[in-house]
Structure 1
Amino acid sequence: MHASVGDRIVTASGVVGGSVRAGVVVECPHGDGSPPYRVRWSDTGEETLVFPGPDSLVQPEGDTGGAAGEDAPRTARSTTWHVRLTLVEAAGSTTAEAVLVAGPPEHADVGPLRSVGHARRAPQDEEIPVIGDEVAAGRALRRLADAMLGQAEDDITAVTGEQGHVHA
């Protein structure tokens, strides 16, 4: 990996749920453009010394990352979505409700997506509540994923005027 002053660097988080960070290379101590680089992060303005790994991408200054003829620059963005999972267990039956409670501002008019999953213990099975929780939650999350893909298909249709289809 090589970079020059002015290049953009985008680094994925090393932890689940972490943010993607983007910044600008402000110093390259090595003349050949090899790491490390001093980077000014766009989210905080902080400058740090970066030794990029396989989770990083360097985008040369002026490179929009698009195909020929595209003049809109591509920028990294980070959005956090939250899913609230509520579980209720009673009499050998568990119900889970999964709700997408936050999303990007451009989807504020869509409203929350919601799904439900159920699990029921067979009468002869030992009562182990965590197993019912796992089954009900898994079913609710799978249905939520299907609802999200359906919403994406509807959005594609609305934007293109042609029936959208997302391969799961």
Structure 2
Amino acid sequence: MRARRGDRIVLAGEQVGHPVRDGEIIEVRGEQGAPPYVVRWSDGHEATFFPGPGAVVRTRGETEAQPDVPAPTAAQPVHEWSIRVSLYEHQDDTTAQAVLVSGPAEQTDASGSAHRSARDPASPRIGDEIAVARALRHLSDKLFERARQDVENATGEHDVDIRAS
């Protein structure tokens, strides 16, 4: 992971239902952008931070124009969103928590679950797939609803229908 001062760091909740945490990197203490970082979290707390596998760095260039960065071309993405999926298992239950990070302090989360019946074979991958699929479907539903509300607010129309196809 590489970062620089002014970039943002986003962490998904460690357990289902826990909030997403984000902050601004105010100091880079490692060589060539490597950790550790001093982060000013959105709650105002500052701490030295060593990011783990659940951390996502959002560079300044992703959220604001940089004068020395060329404008995007057809081969370069204009925006990048990240989805992090965490799986939790307890006995025969699997829960997936999906977090979409679409901006430095903008995220949407959803969860899905699966339960293995006693008569089903013990195959954790199947429970993972079902729980993740359900979490992503719920995330998709939230995005469609948010887009519908945005269209209504922008146009003044009511009962806007946005299809999934």
Give me the TM-score of the superposition, normalised by structure 2: 0.51
Name the amino acid aligned to 1:115.
Answer: A
Q: Aligned pair 1:138/2:133, yes or no?
A: yes
Distance across 2 between alignment mates of 1:77 and 1:97: 26
* 2:112 matched residue in structure 1: 117
Name the amino acid aligned to 1:129.
Answer: P
Distance across 2 between alignment mates of 1:91 and 1:128: 12
Name the amino acid aligned to 1:87.
Answer: L
* 1:166 corresponds to which of 133, 153, 162: 162
Q: 1:72-126: CA deviations, max 9, x gaps?
A: xxxx9611111111110110110001111234x7xx5xx4211110100010112
Name the amino acid aligned to 1:137.
Answer: V
Identity %: 40
Q: Aligned pair 1:90/2:90, yes or no?
A: yes
Name the amino acid aligned to 2:96.
Answer: A
Give me the TM-score of the superposition, normalised by structure 1: 0.50
Q: 1:59-82: CA deviations, max 9, x gaps?
A: xxxxxxxxxxxxxxxxx9611111
Mark the runs of 5 or more structure 1 residues left unpaired by the alignment: 1-40, 45-55, 57-75
* 1:81 matched residue in structure 2: 81
Name the amino acid aligned to 1:166.
Answer: I
Q: Aligned pairs, how many? A: 94
Q: 1:6-57: CA deviations, max 9, x gaps?
A: xxxxxxxxxxxxxxxxxxxxxxxxxxxxxxxxxxx7449xxxxxxxxxxx7x
Distance across 2 between alignment mates of 1:139 and 1:84: 14
Root-mean-square deviation (CA), in Å? 2.5
Name the amino acid aligned to 1:98.
Answer: A
Q: Any residues of structure 2 matched to 1:13-92 within 5 Å, and which?
A: 42-43=71-72, 78-92=78-92
Distance across 2 between alignment mates of 1:137 and 1:160: 34
Q: Aligned pair 1:126/2:118, yes or no?
A: no
Distance across 1 between alignment mates of 2:128 and 2:151: 34
